């Protein structure tokens, strides 16, 4: 069974640009969550999608948005990039929503904003 894949793996953008990151969950998984990790910070929750609906949102500005498609693939978009958006962005998928369901993480996209 293929794992969670994320594209691209590395990205360099300039301040003010926008970026779209993609996440393909494990086949059959319907829940996709996104996390940001910056130096010195733990993993910060961005949002969760389940069956194409955003179910949870973290404390990030509106420049961060996402969506999920009918095949469960998800994209996140960051508009008007700032230097502080340089981070590792991880997505994770799970088969359904529930307290005992572990999440499977992708390898991440390393975004550098110059």
Can you give the binding site for other proteins, defined by CB under 8 A? Answer: 3-4, 31, 33, 35, 41-45, 48, 50, 55-56, 58, 90, 92, 97-108
Nearest to other proteins of 17, 51 (CB atom): 51
Which of left, alpha, beta for 102 (phi over 0: left; psi -120 to 50: alpha)? beta
Query: In terms of CB distance, is 24 or 31 closer to other proteins?
Result: 31
Q: What's the closest the beta carbon of residue 54 comes to other proteins, in angstroms?
A: 10
Structure tokens at 73: 């693939």
Distance of closest approach, residue 17 Cβ to other proteins, in angstroms:
27
Length of the chain: 114
**Closest CB 7 distance from other proteins, rounded Å:** 14
């Amino acid at each position: 069974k293929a794992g969670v894949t994320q594209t691209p793996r590395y990205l360099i953008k300039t301040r003010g640009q926008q970026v779209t990151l993609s996440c393909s969950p494990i086949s059959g998984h319907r829940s996709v969550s996104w996390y940001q990790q910056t130096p010195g910070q733990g993993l910060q929750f961005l949002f969760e999608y389940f069956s194409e609906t955003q179910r949870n949102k973290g404390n990030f500005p509106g420049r961060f948005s996402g969506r999920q498609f009918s095949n469960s693939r998800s994209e996140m978009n960051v508009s008007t990039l700032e230097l502080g958006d340089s981070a590792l962005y991880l997505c994770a998928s799970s088969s359904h929503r529930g307290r005992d369901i572990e999440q499977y993480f992708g390898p991440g996209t390393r975004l550098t904003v110059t």
